[in-house]
Amino acid sequence: MGQQGWTHWVHKRKWEMRLAVVVTLAVGILLGTLISDGVRAARDNPTPAGAQTLTVASPQQLSSIFAEVARKLEPTVVNINTESYRSTQRRRARPRQRIPWPFEDFFDFDSGRPQTERSLGSGVIVDPDGYILTNYHVVYGAGKIADRIRVGLYGENESYDAEVVGWDQETDLAVIKIDVGRKLPAATLGDSDAVQVGDWVLAIGSPFGLSATVTAGIISYKGRSGQRISGPSSQFQRFIQTDAAINRGNSGGPLVNLAGEVIGINTAIMSRNGVSAGVGFALPSSLAVRVYNQIVEHGRVVRGSIGIEFSSADSENKAILRSFGADHGVIINKVRPASPAEKAGLQVHDVITHVGGTPIHTGDELVEKVTSTPVGQEVKIRYLRDEKERVTTAVVEDFSKIYAERYEDSLTPERAQEASVELGLTLEEVSPAMARRSGLEEEDVGLLVAEVEPGSFADEIRMLRGDLILEVNRQRVLTLREFRAVQRKLGPGSDVVFWVMRRGRRNWVRLRLGGTLPE
C-alpha cells in the first residue's frame, strides 16, 4: 500500500470511530431516560399485593418493651427473708454434761442460745389478697419450715410477717400469704406451653438481697428434665432454661414474657461457683398453676401413682425397645410391693405402651398421664410381655402413700423431734466416718441423742445428751426411719426399753434404760 492509500485508510477509520462514539452516547442517553422513568414509575405505583417492605428494627423499640414490662411487674415481686432456729438449749436441773468427742460438734456449749439460719429469696404476688408463689427451698431452713418469714414489698421499707399456706417438695413450690389490710398488685400467669426457644424473657427478683433487680435473656430450652438438675428424685420437674441472669436470691421470683405475663418461677442455676453462668432454670407456669390451686384448695398436692420405677433412657434407645419387641413404650424396672401395679399383675421387664388409650413414648408422658389421673380412678394399661400384647387395669393411688418413706427420710432431727414428742428425744444419725473417729466399731453405731426434753419420758428414764441408742425394744435402730417404725408401734402404757452406749471416764459402757409410757 502506497503513502496515499495509507492516508486514505486512516482517515476513513477516524470517521468510523467518531460514528461509534456518537452512537454509544445516544444509546446511553436513551437507556438512562428509560431507567429514570422506570424508577419514577415504581415510586408512583403502590406496593404489589402481598409484598412487604423491609425495615430495620429500632433498638429503642425493644428497650421500651423491656422497660414497660419491668414497670408492670416490679410492684408484684417481693423479697423474702427467713429465719430458722436450731435449738441448743441445755437441760434444766442437771449439771453440764460432757459430750464425747467428736459428737460435741453437734452442740453449742458456749452460749446455749438457739442457732439462727437466715436465707433470702423472692416471690411473686398472684392474688390481690396477699397470696404469694415462691420456691419451697426459700421457706425451708434448718431442716424445717422457717420459724419466721418476712416479706418486703416493692417501694416500701416496712416488711410483713407471712404464714405458710402449703408446699410441694416434689416440684419445689410453696405458697405463703401476707395481710397488709389492702389489695395488692398481682401478676398475671401466662401460658408457658406457648413460649418458644428464642423468645425474649425477663427475670425479676432479689439476687444477693438486691430487690427489684431485672435481667434479660432468651428461652434457651424447653422441658429440661429435673433429674438432670435436682437429682433422680425430681421426676415431676420440667424446667424452662434461660440465659437471663439468675443468682442466689432470685429463687421464687418470676420469669416473664414480653407481654408482661409470668411464664415461670425461677428456681435453680447450673454453675461451678454459685454465680450465674448463663444457665438458669424456671419451673413453667403451667405446672405452678396446678400446684398452687391444689395447695390453696386442699392444703397439699395430691398426685396419682401406680407404683412402678423405670429409666427414661430406655425409652429413648430403639435397640433396647426392639429387644423387648416394642417400637415405643416405658420398660418397668421395679414394681413396688402392694402397689396398684403389682395388684394389676404388672412385672419387671413389661413394656407399657398405652395408658387410658393414650400412646406412651417417654417416661415424661407416663408420669404426666398417671399423675393427672384422679386418685381412686381406674386406668386401662396396655403392655408387652415376652413380645405379646396384654391389657390390665390399675386403680391410681396417692403417690405420697405409695412412697411414704421418701417423706419420712426427708425428716431432719427437728422434724423428727415433732414425731417423737411422746418420748421427748431429738436424734441425729451418726455417719460411719464419725463413728470411726470416735473409736466405735460398726456394730456399736447407733442414733445420737442430740437433745432430751426436760420432764419428758426420756428425761424420766435418765437418757442423756450424747448417748448412742443401739436398740429400742430389742430392735436395732441405725436410722431415723427405723426408729420411727418402732415408735409407731408404741402407745399409752407401752413398755419401752432402750439399749444405749454412754461414754464413761475411760471408755464406752452399755446400759439399758426403760420405763412405761404414761396412759
pLDDT in tens, 194-241: 999 999 999 999 998 888 899 999 999 998 876 555 544 456 778 999
The string of DSSP codes covering 118-161 is EEEEEEEEEETTTEEEEEHHHHEETTEE-SEEEEE-TT-S-EEE
Output the nine-digit C-alpha cell for 118: 437466715
In the annotation, is 251 catalytic?
Answer: yes
Active-site residue, from 84, 137, 354, 459: 137
pLDDT at 302 over 80: yes
Average pLDDT over residues 483-500: 87
Q: Region 491-502: what's the mean pLDDT?
A: 90
**Percent of the chain residues topping a pLDDT of 70:** 74
pTM of the complete model: 0.62
The whole-number average pLDDT for the span 378-398 is: 95
Per-residue pLDDT of 77-126, as tens digits, reads 999 999 877 654 444 334 444 444 444 433 334 444 556 778 889 999 99
Q: Do 266 and 253 contact (CB within 8 A), yes or no? A: yes
pLDDT tens column, 246-261: 988 899 999 999 999 9
Q: What is the pLDDT of residue 15?
A: 59
The mean pLDDT of the chain is: 81
pLDDT recorded at residue 455: 84
* Per-residue 3-state assignment (H helix, E strand, C coil) for 482-500: HHHHHHCCCCCCCEEEEEE
CA atoms of 298 and 133, how far apart (whole Å):
16
| Residue reference for cell 418413706 | 405
Q: Is the peptide bond before 102 cis (omega within 30 degrees of 0)?
A: yes
What is the Cα 361 distance to its own chain's centre?
A: 24
Nearest to residue 142, comparing CAs of 356, 415, 442, 349?
Answer: 415
Residue 203, C-beta contacts closer than 8 angstroms, at least 6 positions apart: 214, 215, 216, 217, 242, 244, 245, 246, 250, 253, 254, 255, 256, 266, 280, 282
Q: 206-220, 279-293, 392-406, 454-468 — which is least confidently predicted?
A: 392-406
Contacts of 412 (CB under 8 A, 6+ apart): 142, 143, 144
Question: In the structure grid, which three cell numbers stand for residue 308, read together?
Answer: 412402678
SS3 19: helix
Q: Is 312 exposed, middle or buried (0-12, 13-18, 19+ CB in 10 A)?
A: middle
In the annotation, is 172 catalytic? yes
Q: Which of 168-172, 303-307, 402-406, 474-478 has maximum average pLDDT?
A: 303-307
Which position among 84, 119, 168, 172 bears the catalytic label?
Answer: 172
Q: Is 327 annotated in the active site?
A: no
